[in-house]
Amino acid sequence: MTSAAWLKEQPVAHRGYHDMNKAVWENTLSAFSRAIEAGFAIECDLHYASDGVPVVFHDEDLERLCNLKGDVRDRTSKELGLLSVGGTSDKIPTLKQLLDLVKGQVPLVIELKGREADDEGFVEAVLEVLEGYEGKVALMSFDHWLLRELKALNAPYPLGLTAGGNNPEEFEVHEKAMSLGLDFISYFFADLPNPFITKQREKGIVVITWTVHDEKARKHTFENADQMTFEGFDPRASV
């Protein structure tokens, strides 16, 4: 196992330290700069552009964030890099642009957004961009096939399962993913506590939560997990 203990150290800003898409939008260089200034770890999402370049973007389509029709995977990274996010001056960044900005100043918790049977080369491309990066990086996904591939390629980073749910059928699926030898879990805070997470924590698996929006959810997180992924408030002001 690769140590994921550093994930406990500081709050993780969900899609960067944005302001709920008022002026500073999610998954933009502005949101990431703001997180660096505040000293928060950064969570972000990766999709796979049509030219084989990992780009930082959450949704599968462009409508909510760019007010355009179309699939994010149908465009090249250069085309995506021209699109305004939320009508701001921020454009859709590549993973490399994110790394060039952060330069190891704060940790990165990167979620790969897979699409089954359409991810050939995605994991390899992510690992290639990350090669030589000097800074703390963890990789995670809901998608078990991506986690399997990361393990098969001996990714030298803590690997985590992104998940939620509170019934035995879901726990069984999660157990299969954890049997790959994953290092941490990012779990939906409102589905805690539960037997699956309790068992994993007893094994020493680090557990962070998503997505905390207020003090009540923050308190619940730290009763049941090691750290939180948050948005919409400044956790420094509510300690």
User: What digits encode the pLDDT tens for the residues 129-168?
Assistant: 999 999 999 999 999 999 999 999 999 999 999 999 999 9
Number of domains in the chain: 1
**152-189 residues labelled b (16+ CB within 10 A) or e (exposed):** eeebebbbbbbbbeeeeeebeebeebbeeebbbbbbeb
- Range(s) of the domain holding residue 188: 8-234
The region that residue 148 occupies, defined by phi over 0 for left and psi between -120 and 50 for alpha, beta otherwise, is: alpha
pLDDT the model gives residue 29:
98
Q: Which residue is associated with the tokens 């726990």?
A: 171
User: What digits encode the pLDDT tens for the residues 1-49?
Assistant: 789 999 999 999 999 999 999 999 999 999 999 999 999 999 999 999 9
- Is residue 170 included in any domain, yes or no? yes
Q: Is the pLDDT of residue 70 over 80?
A: yes
- Is residue 98 included in any domain, yes or no? yes
| Distances 155 to 91, 98, 189 between C-alpha atoms, Å | 29, 19, 27
User: What digits encode the pLDDT tens for the residues 74-123?
Assistant: 999 999 999 999 999 999 999 999 999 999 999 999 999 999 999 999 99
Contact 73, 55 (CB under 8 A): no
Residue 217: exposed, middle, or buried by beta-carbon count in 10 A (0-12, 13-18, 19+)?
Answer: middle
Q: Residue 12's closest CA among 136, 107, 98? A: 107
Contact 136, 108 (CB under 8 A): yes
pLDDT the model gives residue 238:
65
- Is residue 2 included in any domain, yes or no? no
- Is residue 148 included in any domain, yes or no? yes
| Beta-carbon contacts of residue 193 (< 8 Å; ≥ 6 apart) | 223, 224
Q: Is the pLDDT of residue 239 over 60?
A: no
Compute the radius of gyration of the chain from its Cα atoms: 17
CA dihedral 85, 189, 127, 180 (to 10 degrees): -150
- Is residue 3 included in any domain, yes or no? no
Mean pLDDT across the chain, nearest whole number? 97
- Is residue 188 included in any domain, yes or no? yes
Q: What is the rounded distance in angstroms from the CA atom of residue 195 to the CA atom of residue 87?
A: 44
- Is residue 239 included in any domain, yes or no? no
Q: Residue 12's closest CA among 191, 224, 212? A: 212
The region that residue 105 occupies, defined by phi over 0 for left and psi between -120 and 50 for alpha, beta otherwise, is: alpha
| Beta-carbon contacts of residue 130 (< 8 Å; ≥ 6 apart) | 95, 99, 137, 157
CATH number for the domain harbouring residue 63? 3.20.20.190
- Is residue 158 included in any domain, yes or no? yes
